[in-house]
Amino acid sequence: MSAIGSTDAGQDPGPGGAWSGLPDRLRARGLRWTPQRRLLVDVLSRTDGHVTGSELVERCREVDATTIPSTVYRTLDVLEELGVLSHSHGADGREEFHVLPASEHGHLYCRRCGGQWELSGEEPPVAAALAAFELDRGFEIDVSHLTLVGRCSACRASDGSAAATEH
Amino acid sequence: MSAIGSTDAGQDPGPGGAWSGLPDRLRARGLRWTPQRRLLVDVLSRTDGHVTGSELVERCREVDATTIPSTVYRTLDVLEELGVLSHSHGADGREEFHVLPASEHGHLYCRRCGGQWELSGEEPPVAAALAAFELDRGFEIDVSHLTLVGRCSACRASDGSAAATEH
DNA sequence: ACCGTTATCGCAACGAGTGGCATCAGCTGG
DNA sequence: CCAGCTGATGCCACTCGTTGCGATAACGGT
């Protein structure tokens, strides 16, 4: 993790930091750089991988117990519009956020073992699918919002070929 | 319109009807056929396409105002286990149910115009993707739970090259 | 440094959906 | 046909997330 110091306002113009100059980017749009936003951005900057909205709320509360959920969610919306992060929906449909400009990726869930894997847009199966939809219907699929659910190879193996539908 | 829109068909599928003999199938599993379940099944039998849980609750209430949401949701779970219906998650992550044995299909959403289309597992792009995941990682994707989000060709065209990153 | 504009905050109410638990009632066996 | 077993219901409280609204404070201009 090269980015972001854990301290105050928008310093840390690290070359790789997605957060550098965020305050100015907000202001350039007529938006504002508030303590609450700084807190959330700070939390996000120390976050890797996936987080749900409620997890973020919780982490913010650890730093500032007065954090209000709606403020967090609204700020997340703003950050998403700025392209700083994006969200997708987990296997249960719940929101999951992840930070950019980490490579865009989707998710693969096994509904049996609960395992999950990231899907880069470059992986052959994914790339093929994207290209196919592009060609076939001119549809541009948002990889970062891609969620696939099914059974992983391990679970299929252990299920055997038996049509044993548990339950 | 190729898009999905119809919500009402209202025809009893005689042979192969998903609902015929449902009471007995429940009882065979030690489950029970109750008035509340009959109501929901009745509503479902008149439903085609996609419905959200809350929509179903609402429709049940139109018939019986005393309908309790948790009962509806629990019954939906039961029916899903019986294989009578299945659910997926819409573009916003909200649950959507659809009745079987309509062919399994996924959904394609345009996040800009809100349009939605069904994706049959036989469509070339889909079939190709399924096969690719199968070959590449031995993963079996659940088509009925498939949700793709992106931009449709029409919206891409009207966006042109303009930087309309609206919303 | 001050001021006005207005984006944002905090709060409270709401909507969707879930889980616990006491009570009720479908079903089956006698 | 009745009684008991146990699955289902109804209700309540809770979580996650959203929305409306009055109050607050960030920001640009002077």
Question: Considering CB atoms only, which of B140, B150, B165 is closest to A156?
Answer: B140
Phi/psi at A165 (5° precision): -90, 95
Q: What's the confidence (pLDDT) of residue A11?
A: 40
The residue ranking higher by pLDDT, A90 or B40, is B40
pLDDT at A126 over 60: yes
B72 touches B56 (CB < 8 A):
yes
The residue ranking higher by pLDDT, A34 or B160, is A34
Using a 7 Å cut-off to protein CB atoms, list the covered nucleotides of chain C: 7-13, 15-20, 25-28
Residues in chain A: 167
Residue with token string 């950019």: A100
What are the structure tokens assigned to A88, written together? 């997708």
Strand order in the sheet with A50-51: A50-51, A95-99, A85-89
Whether any strand D atom is under 7 angstroms from the Cβ of A35: the reply reads: yes
Pick the residue from chain B with its C-alpha nearest to A93: B93
How far, in Å, CA of B123 to CA of B106, rounded? 11
Q: What's the confidence (pLDDT) of residue A102?
A: 61
| Strand C footprint, Cβ within 7 Å | A 26, 30-32, 34, 36-37, 66-68, 70-71, 74-75, 78; B 23, 26-27, 32-35, 52-54, 57, 69-70, 73, 94-95
- H helix intervals, chain B: 22-28, 35-45, 53-63, 69-81, 124-137, 153-159
Q: What's the confidence (pLDDT) of residue A113?
A: 77
Of B155, B89, B71, which Cα lies nearest the Cα of A88? B89
Share of chain B above pLDDT 70, in %: 82
Contacts of A153 (CB under 8 A, 6+ apart): B137, B138, B139
Strands A147-151 and A105-110: parallel
Q: What's the confidence (pLDDT) of residue B17?
A: 63
pTM to 2 decimals? 0.69
CA-to-C1' span, A68 to D17 (A): 12
Q: What is the pLDDT of residues B52-108, one digit of tens each?
A: 999 999 999 999 999 999 999 999 999 999 888 888 887 788 888 988 766 677 888
pLDDT at A77 over 50: yes
A13 touches A21 (CB < 8 A):
yes
Give the mean pLDDT of A119-124.
Answer: 84
Q: At what angle do helices A53-63 and A69-81 cross, to 10 degrees?
A: 120
Mean pLDDT is lowest, of A60-74, A116-130, B19-33, B109-123, for B109-123
